Amino acid sequence: MAPSVNDASPPSTINDAVTENNLQPFFVLQKGSVRKTERKLSGTGKTRRRIDLSPELPKNSENLEDEMEEEKMSMRMEAFEFVWSKIESTIKDVLREINTSVFSEIQSWVHQSFDMIRSLGTPDFPQATRSFPIITDANSKKLFTGLVLTKNMEFVDDLLTFEELGKHLKAQGCHVANLSSLDFTAKNGIGGCLRSLLRQFLMSTLDAADISILASWYGEQNYNNPVVVIVDDIERCCGSVLSDFILMLSEWVVKIPVILIMGVATTLDAPRNILPSNALQRLCPFDFTLGIPAERMDAVVEAVLVKPCSGFSIGHKVAVFMRNYFVSQDGTLTSFIRALKIACTQHFYMEPLSFILRDLVLEEDNWEFEIEQYGLSPEVTLKHAFNLPSYQRVKMTKVTSESLAHALSELKRLQNQWRAVVLCLYETGKGEKVRLLDLFCEANDLESYNRREFDACTKLEKDSVSSPSSRQGPGLIKGGVICEAVRLVRDLSTRQLGKLLKIWENLTVGIMEINGKVKELQSLLKAEDGKSSKKDLIVTPKRHASRIQLNIEDSKSLGDKAAKLLECMVRDYMQPIECIPFHEIFCFKNVDKLRSALIGDPRRRIQVDLLEFQKLLHCNCCIRGSNALLPSMHDTSIMYNLAQEHGDLINLHDWYQSFKSVVLCPSSSKMKSRPSPLPKKRKDINESENRSEASIQARFCRAVTELQITGLLRMPTKRRPDFAQRVAFGL
Amino acid sequence: MAKVESPQVTRRTTRSYSASNDAIESTKPIEPYKPTLNDLGFRQQPLSFEDLLSCLPGRRTQVLELLRLLGPLNSPMFPILIYGGPSTGKTSVILQVFRHLNRPFVYSSCVTCYSPRILFESILNQLFHRKNSGNSYSSIKRCEKPSDFVNYLREALESVIKNLKGNSGKLSSKVSGQPNGTMIYLVFDHLERVRKWDKSSTILPFLFNLFDILKMPEVGLIFISNTSPDTYYFNMGYVEPIPLCFPDYTEDDLRQIFMANQTNRKLYSSFLDVVLRPFCRVTRRVDELSAVFSSLFKKYSQPLSDMGVAPNEDMKRRLFSHLQPHITSALNETFLSPSWPPLLKDEANGETKKKGSSRMSRIHEDFDKIDFHMSTSAKYLLISAFLASRNPATLDASLFDSTGVSDSRKRKRKPSEKSLEQKEMTELELLMKGPGTFPLERLLAIFQCITSLAEDSLDEEESHELTIEGGSSGLMSDVLLQLSSLCNANFIIKGGSCPLEGSTRYRTAVSEDLALKVARSLKFPLSKYLYRR
């Protein structure tokens, strides 16, 4: 994906990033002061924070604890790097897989176009390097152009795609240059993009970029391979530069067989809007379509979260948050992956036992849990593990290492079942645009699972045989994705059902119970098929309405059976991870952390920090908890607190007076209370007063400017020179 | 290599220095390709006069006039300005005439040479220099100033002319491909581009003045331009070039042009009977027409199994009726991009044909859908931008404020003639002005109103549990990010700005169709909010 994934929080500095910034968006107060206070409190502050997160840990001696923590932390970070690299490589593979078919289409088109250009004539070296055009016919100026529709308004996701496309074509022997919209700026003009083109082809920078250079270069390359120029995103290019570029290339197209590939983020209207007609009609366009973002998203979710990949998982609330963020806020895969990474980081940071994940990745099957191998004291670890809320709910057996290991393998088994059911549901709904992300959210929902359980129980109590007339599945949410999938199964034709069952059979291979049932259904289907085909053979000429009716009935009953099976699978086997004991080790659930890290809400943060700065600066004077304004407070903070009393407009004079009184008042009273030992030095005092007046004004001005820069205040205008305007109200 | 680089480093090279440098240049070690005098000619078999006229149909008078202006061998000439609309055969005529005459010339197109420096160096390079990897693709000389250019050019031309004269002396040993005569012609194509370079203040007068500056009778100057001589300011005190106009092709000329090189002439002429007349009303540019015709002819001959067949009346009628629906769509379409691979497209066409005419039905099919992904908040932002630039700002309060003015405007007065007229005028004015601009604050305010409204309706419709968390698309930092990506997609255009004050003004470039589509995908009642006059 885009570089942003990589620089979101580079693994090497993760420790720093997490502890120092705590992933807060930014600080209003000067960085220096904050750091100072933090350093002052470093010893206690850090441990306090950690203790907050894991209160179960016994605190015998702080020093020892610290060291232990440190050691564990590094282990967890190691595990994080391991897990994340696994996830990242999986994502990369998935995305590459998705694009392969389009890439090969583009490649065949490139070669076909190249042959077309070649058929117009192959000039020899002196011919190709001459400045006047080779005239064959009017079509010889056509520039073959592939418009690649990326189907996403946001462009970040496709940076990598075009890079990969370039690599793919290069591997097929084309000369490829990747230009981005930065090369087509009005400032640099046509020279800029030519220069970068030549730099990529000739591997050298030239003083004067001239396309005839390219012609000579190509002549030396023996005319065997097409030259492909990829422009990432034409929407962002400067139209006039791009059109100049196209005109120039089209003049040389016989001499340099250039094939243009342009990424279009929105619609095919985009080139029409950007380019003038004389450039447009030089193009000979073909369009290619990349997969829509939702499809890619599904593929990524399937590979990373549903299929066994790293063992890391996210809870329902986190999943819903991420889904909504994707659908309504950002819409890019890049940000989804970034969110996933943040979640992963947070998880490893917060969860002491998360290092287990690493070994889960290492040895998939014959995995045995041994605490000792980590060099940790088993008591502490076990105690922590058995204090996890999910375990507290269940209250199983004794606190031993074996029982923990057993519970973990049980968790794995249940996860496998869940996975199989989710994939079955996904396969069912694939044709009808059921999105895996939605499905994932719903399948992970603890509440709906509990409701399903509850419904099933009550139904069993009411009547032992659940009535077949109830079309609504037990406890399925109306309009939910799962319900939709069940409904779909009911309406499938026999052949489709057969196909679907085959897929189900493959998916549920590891789970005997379901697999058996699926096979049963398949054999039923086969029998049915045989019957109907026989019937067909017998009564082909006549079409009996009754027979058709019967047939429909049959298939319907089969569909019903399949639907019942699916419901049963959902009810019995699709156990969300959050209701399994010890899931906290694998599953990230803290949605608030993720939200604050991802969205930040900087403006609110600024205001909160200004108003409740005591929470950030644990300084001695403010720690008493009084909300009164003290002169030792930060100026900007005082000012903003004072501004709260005003309405829309703030009278600068009043503001200044109150600021001054806050800054001076207590100290002056102190001064007064102190018996002045030397009354002769009144002059001095006067001077210092004067000086302080000036310095207060300066402080006032600085604070106002800071407020303006943070966007909380608008400076006085000419029309109202005495009033500043408040911009932000409320939090 | 250092010797070659040195002139590039020193900006000002004296004449003597450059001349000595030249000598070094000429004694350079073996190059892969050494240009000779022959490269100044066309280097192809010269055309006979008849061939020349026949390969340029419809341009007979222009060719004759040009030949007259160029004059017989070794006669000096005044500069010529050839002008005419795009794709009227100016460049082809010049090139073919030189091929016929086989005289040496230097061609430079101002499209390829996009700056004075490139133009100068390209001309100098053509006189015996080729860029290649041996000289690391550098030019023969670095030349940015017109004065330097004149000096270098004079030098180079003198040496070339001397060579030419020497050659013509021993004319008896006539080498094939050796250009004739001692005149050398400089051709400047796409001269209209030069006007943009530096607001036509220096280079353009310089080029026109070149004839007087050089004062070499052996040099002929030919300018080719898309625009008429009136667009160049000619009262600057130099010899005005002789204008030679290339008018647009007539319908008959076009028919001749398109009939050339056709295999089945009868079929093609029946095809031209059908299409040429309507398309000539739209455009007479050969390149545009040939692009359209090649695709249309494929469609035209689609029902035919044998391409060599000569059509009779009945067949012509059938083919015409087959083609007719395509003609109108092709007339309206300037830029059509078929999808790849073509096979799939044919299938799709086949399917849609059942429902109606191909392209129209496809448009109707996905009329409701936007064919690219946008996040929900980006959609809302786009709609609010659309509203902000369509509606007058004074109307916002009544549209979005529920406590505000209810529709008391509804009382109808009988519109008088005059008011109606005024209304029309304002409507016209608005059409001319295009969408209005708006500040960021207004956009965000409308966005807030719309989203809160939409959320209410959503909550009423379905209290779907998935929308609890983070479903609130409230105002947050990301909205500004979305705005910038909308700007990048050219949906919203940013005006001038002042960074601290935040007084940037925006404007939407979205068509109403797209806005409606977006609104429909959100189930947002856009038409309710649009102010119609």
Does one domain contain both A562 and A452?
A: yes
Query: In this complex, do A281 and B95 lie within 8 Å of one another by their Cβ atoms?
Result: no
- Per-residue buried b or exposed e for A443-457, using 16+ beta carbons within 10 Å of the residue's own CB: bbbeebbeebbebbe
Does one domain contain both A396 and A465?
A: no
Where do the DSSP E strands lie in A2-134? none
Nearest CA in chain A to B261: A137
pLDDT at A133 over 70: yes
Does one domain contain both B232 and B282?
A: no
Query: In this complex, do A281 and B33 lie within 8 Å of one another by their Cβ atoms?
Result: no
Written in H, E and C, the secondary structure of A648-690 is CEEEHHHHHHHHHHHHHHHHHHHHHHCCCCCHHHHHHHHHHHH
Nearest to A271 among B86, B133, B335 (CB): B335
What is the CATH classification number for the domain harbouring B238?
3.40.50.300
Q: How far is A318 from chain B (nearest CA, A)?
A: 9
B408 touches A at CB < 8 Å: no
Query: In this complex, do B291 and A281 lie within 8 Å of one another by their Cβ atoms?
Result: yes
A341 touches B at CB < 8 Å: no
Which B residues, 441 through 470, put their C-beta within 8 Å of a C-beta on chain A? 462, 464-470
Copy the structure tokens of residue B342: 């073509």
Residue A626 is predicted with a pLDDT of 62
- Only one residue has tokens 């359209």, namely B292
What is the CATH classification number for the domain harbouring A191?
3.40.50.300
Task: Please tell me which residue, B532 or A243, carries the higher pLDDT value.
Answer: A243
Does one domain contain both B186 and B255?
A: no
A147 touches B at CB < 8 Å: yes
pLDDT at A531 over 70: no
**Phi, psi angles (nearest 5°) of residue A596:** -65, -30
B124 touches A at CB < 8 Å: no
Does one domain contain both B476 and B505?
A: yes
CA–CA separation, B285 and B289 (whole Å): 6
Contacts of B359 in chain A (CB under 8 A): none
Give the domain-ending residue among A249, A272, A291.
A291
Q: Which domain holds residue A194?
A: 120-291
**Phi, psi angles (nearest 5°) of residue A588:** -90, 125
A727 touches B at CB < 8 Å: no
Show contacts of A653-661: CB within 8 Å, 24+ apart. Answer: A653/A722, A655/A724, A656/A697, A656/A700, A659/A635, A659/A696, A659/A700, A659/A703, A660/A696, A660/A700
Residue B327 is predicted with a pLDDT of 82
CA–CA separation, B180 and B70 (whole Å): 13
CB atoms within 10 A of CB B280: 16
Which A residues, 449 through 478, put their C-beta within 8 Å of a C-beta on chain B? 477
Please report, as a single letter, which amino acid is at residue A715.
M
CA–CA separation, A543 and A629 (whole Å): 92
Does one domain contain both A387 and A347?
A: yes
pLDDT digits (tens, 9 = 90+) for A244-289: 999 999 888 888 889 999 988 888 888 888 888 888 888 888 888 8
Q: Which of A47-61, A147-161, A615-629 is predicted least confidently?
A: A47-61
Does one domain contain both A379 and A366?
A: yes
How many cross-chain Cβ pairs, A to B, lie less than 8 Å apart? 234
Does one domain contain both B270 and B241?
A: no
Q: Does residue B464 lie within any of the structural domains?
A: no
Query: In this complex, do B112 and A212 lie within 8 Å of one another by their Cβ atoms?
Result: yes
Residue A399 is predicted with a pLDDT of 61
Nearest CA in chain B to A149: B372
Does one domain contain both B37 and B167?
A: yes
Give the domain-ending residue among A227, A261, A291.
A291
CA angle A664, A666, A667 (to 5 degrees): 65
- DSSP three-state, residue B184: strand
CA–CA separation, A27 and A609 (whole Å): 8
Q: Does residue A531 lie within any of the structural domains?
A: yes
CA–CA separation, B492 and B482 (whole Å): 11
Q: Does residue A74 lie within any of the structural domains?
A: yes
Task: Please tell me which residue, A453 or A174, carries the higher pLDDT value.
Answer: A174
B295 touches A at CB < 8 Å: no
Nearest to A138 among B290, B373, B476 (CB): B290
A124 touches B at CB < 8 Å: no
Interface test with A, best of B40, B114, B382, B383 (most A CBs within 10 A): B114
Give the domain-ending residue among B188, B219, B246.
B246
Cα separations in angstroms, B161 against A297, A644, B4, B105 = 69, 87, 25, 12
Q: Does residue A182 lie within any of the structural domains?
A: yes
Does one domain contain both B179 and B82?
A: yes
Q: Does residue A647 lie within any of the structural domains?
A: yes
Give the domain-ending residue among B246, B261, B288.
B246
A306: burial class by Cβ within 10 Å (0-12, 13-18, 19+)? buried
Copy the structure tokens of residue A42: 């470093």
Q: How far is B130 from chain A (nearest CA, A)?
A: 8
- Only one residue has tokens 């310089």, namely B206
Which A residues, 474 through 533, put their C-beta within 8 Å of a C-beta on chain B? 477, 479
Contacts of B187 in chain A (CB under 8 A): 132
pLDDT tens digit at each of 533 positions of chain B? 333 333 333 333 333 333 333 333 333 333 455 556 666 776 677 778 888 888 888 888 889 999 999 888 888 888 899 998 888 888 888 888 888 888 888 888 888 888 888 888 888 888 766 666 666 666 677 788 888 888 888 888 888 888 888 776 554 444 455 677 788 889 999 888 888 887 657 888 888 888 888 888 888 899 999 888 888 766 667 778 888 999 888 888 888 888 887 778 888 888 888 888 888 888 888 888 888 888 888 888 877 777 667 778 888 888 888 888 888 777 776 666 666 555 444 433 333 333 333 333 343 344 456 778 888 888 888 888 988 888 888 787 777 765 544 444 444 455 567 777 887 777 777 667 777 788 888 888 888 888 877 766 655 444 343 333 334 444 455 777 888 888 888 888 887 655 555 567 888 888 888 888 888 888 888 888 887 75
Q: Does residue A106 lie within any of the structural domains?
A: no
Residue B490 is predicted with a pLDDT of 82
Does one domain contain both A281 and A305?
A: no
B493 touches A at CB < 8 Å: no
Query: What is the residue-wise DSSP string for B51-72?
Result: HHHHHSTT-HHHHHHHHHHH-S
Residue B180 DSSP code: P
Show contacts of A624-631: CB within 8 Å, 24+ apart. Answer: A629/A662, A630/A662, A630/A666, A631/A662, A631/A663, A631/A664, A631/A665, A631/A666, A631/A667
Give the domain-ending residue among A237, A265, A291.
A291
pLDDT digits (tens, 9 = 90+) for A10-29: 444 334 433 444 444 444 44
Does one domain contain both A648 and A502?
A: no
Does one domain contain both B22 and B77?
A: yes
Does one domain contain both B15 and B83?
A: yes
Q: What is the ipTM of this complex?
A: 0.81
Residues forming a β-bridge with B223: B81, B188
Cα separations in angstroms, B66 against B77, B83, B90, B102, B317 = 11, 12, 11, 15, 44
CB atoms within 10 A of CB B257: 20
CB atoms within 10 A of CB B295: 13
Query: In this complex, do A150 and B125 lie within 8 Å of one another by their Cβ atoms?
Result: no
Nearest CA in chain A to B105: A132
Q: How far is B356 from chain A (nearest CA, A)?
A: 23
A730 touches B at CB < 8 Å: no
Q: Does residue B136 lie within any of the structural domains?
A: yes
Does one domain contain both B201 and B164?
A: yes
Arithmetic mean of pLDDT, A564-575: 80
Q: How far is A248 from chain B (nearest CA, A)?
A: 5
- DSSP three-state, residue B187: strand
A140 touches B at CB < 8 Å: no
Does one domain contain both A410 and A466?
A: no
Q: Does residue A666 lie within any of the structural domains?
A: yes
B509, B491 contact by CB (below 8 A)? yes
Task: Report how many domains make up chain A.
Answer: 4
Report the largest interatomic distance among the alpha carbons of chain A, rounded to a whole angstrom. 128
Residue B134 is predicted with a pLDDT of 63
Q: Does residue B358 lie within any of the structural domains?
A: no
Residue B475 DSSP code: S
CA–CA separation, A124 and B199 (whole Å): 38
Q: Which helix (H) or strand (E) holds A249?
A: helix A239-251
Query: What is the residue-wise DSSP string for A296-327?
Result: HHHHHHIIIIISSSSS-EE-HHHHHHHHHIII
- DSSP three-state, residue B91: helix
Residue A260 is predicted with a pLDDT of 92
Q: Does residue A38 lie within any of the structural domains?
A: yes
Residue B239 is predicted with a pLDDT of 76
Q: Does residue B130 lie within any of the structural domains?
A: yes
Task: Please tell me which residue, A409 or A260, carries the higher pLDDT value.
Answer: A260
Q: How far is A545 from chain B (nearest CA, A)?
A: 30
Q: Please, what sign has the CA dihedral across residues A319, A322, A328, A333? A: negative
pLDDT at A372 over 70: no
A158, A234 contact by CB (below 8 A)? no
Task: Report how many domains make up chain B.
Answer: 3
Q: How far is B389 from chain A (nearest CA, A)?
A: 19
Q: How far is A602 from chain B (nearest CA, A)?
A: 7
Does one domain contain both A175 and A312?
A: no
Query: In this complex, do B341 and A595 lie within 8 Å of one another by their Cβ atoms?
Result: no
Q: Beta strands B80-84 and B242-246: pairing type?
A: parallel
Arithmetic mean of pLDDT, A374-378: 58
Q: Which helix (H) or strand (E) holds A135?
A: none
Q: Does residue B357 lie within any of the structural domains?
A: no
Which A residues, 84 through 113, put their C-beta within 8 Å of a C-beta on chain B? 105-106, 108-109
Copy the structure tokens of residue B372: 């690219």
A346, A89 contact by CB (below 8 A)? no
Q: Which domain holds residue B259?
A: 251-321
Nearest to A287 among B137, B340, B467 (CB): B340
Does one domain contain both A658 and A623?
A: yes
Does one domain contain both B134 and B201?
A: yes
**How does the average pLDDT of chain A come out, rounded?**
74
Q: Does residue B52 lie within any of the structural domains?
A: yes
Does one domain contain both A144 and A262?
A: yes
Nearest to B131 among A212, A445, A595 (CB): A212
Closest CA to A160 of A7, A300, A338, A1: A1
Q: Does residue A438 lie within any of the structural domains?
A: no
Does one domain contain both B77 and B13?
A: yes
Give the domain-ending residue among B246, B264, B283.
B246
CB atoms within 10 A of CB A99: 19
Q: Does residue B340 lie within any of the structural domains?
A: no
Query: What is the residue-wise DSSP string for B17-33?
Result: HHHHHHHHHHTPPP-S-
Does one domain contain both A156 and A280?
A: yes
Does one domain contain both B80 and B214?
A: yes
Interface test with A, best of B106, B469, B483 (most A CBs within 10 A): B469
Q: How far is A367 from chain B (nearest CA, A)?
A: 36
pLDDT digits (tens, 9 = 90+) for A498-529: 888 888 888 887 777 778 888 888 888 777 76
Task: Please tell me which residue, A36 or B499, carries the higher pLDDT value.
Answer: B499
CB atoms within 10 A of CB A590: 17
CA–CA separation, B352 and B325 (whole Å): 14
Cα separations in angstroms, B41 against B44, B52, B179, B331, B381 = 8, 16, 5, 42, 61
Nearest to B139 among A154, A208, A441 (CB): A208
